[in-house]
Amino acid sequence: MKNIILGVTGSIAAYKAADLAHRLFKEGYEVEVIMTGSATKFITPLTFRSLTHRNVYTEMFCDDFPSDVKHISLAQKAEVVLIAPATANIIGKLAAGIGDDMLTTTILAVRNTPVLIAPAMNTGMWENPIVQENITKLKKYGYQFIEPRESILACATLGKGALAEVEDIMKAVRAATELTI
């Protein structure tokens, strides 16, 4: 069974991550969902637990696994990491090497594993030179980006920043999985 970490961050597009989790599960992936605190404001861990039949991780320090350093064991087991949706915040943290929650510490612990990032944010944020510099930096380290698309955004403006179509994200995951087999 192929193991994937699905990182879900605080974006209105988080609801689409539920569809991604379900599709990944149906295709035979063992889906380990890690949600940021902000993501839980948009969609609940119960949704992902129901769709993947697995625990959902939201906290760094949990007594459920006293003999297991969970962010390390998840990182070691992952064949692919997907962050969808990825906010400007998570992109900035990763570019700066900040590990202050379950998702960032797990990703920082990943070695020789493809990390796919599907951004979703307001056009102004997407076009911000700091965000673009962070993306360029992460690409230099081998992180792969799934380009956002142009659409009417949650702020009711038309622009680039909408999460890529679910099928396009699935294609990128399949391609990355083929590289690790």
CATH number at residue 147: 3.40.50.1950
Q: How many CA atoms lie within 13 A of 45 on its CB side?
A: 13
pLDDT digits (tens, 9 = 90+) for 26-45: 999 999 999 999 999 999 99
Backbone angles phi, psi at 104, to 5 degrees: -65, -40
HSE at residue 131, side-chain half, CA atoms within 13 A, is 17
Residue-number span of the structural domain to which 102 is assigned: 2-180
Under the banding of pLDDT at 50, 70 and 90, the label for residue 66 is: low
Average pLDDT value for residue range 54-74? 78
Report the candidate in 27, 8, 2, 24 with the shortest Cα–Cα distance to residue 80: 2
How big is the chain by its Cα radius of gyration, in Å? 15
Q: How many domains does the chain have?
A: 1
Residue with the bigger pLDDT between 128 and 61: it is 128
Q: Which residues are catalytic?
A: 155
Q: Please give the model's pTM, rounded to 2 decimal places.
A: 0.93
